[in-house]
Amino acid sequence: MGILDGKKGLIFGVANERSIAWHIAQQAVEHGAECAFSFLPREKMEGRVRKTLSKGGLEDAWAFPCDTWRYLKHIRY
């Protein structure tokens, strides 16, 4: 029984197996969490993320493109 059993998380920032986000995700899964992943909507990035997930044994994990810049560029600060 892990400390994160039954918890779900969305992980942003996985670019490859050296990413801090990837190491956080691995620890979360190891402790029982179910993780979904986002990546920049570029074919190259999707390939990198899916390759990293596959190497880590998470080939069935939900992974979907997410580009918040498209929305944030219209907001005035």
Interval 3-62: pLDDT, tens:
999 999 999 999 999 999 999 999 999 999 999 999 988 889 999 999 999 999 999 999
The dihedral over CA atoms of 16, 54, 57, 6, expressed in degrees to the nearest 10, equals 80
Check residue 1 and give its pLDDT.
Answer: 74
Q: Is the pLDDT at 69 greater than 70, yes or no?
A: yes
Check residue 77 and give its pLDDT.
Answer: 59
pTM of the model: 0.82
> What is the C-alpha separation between 58 and 62, in angstroms, rounded?
9
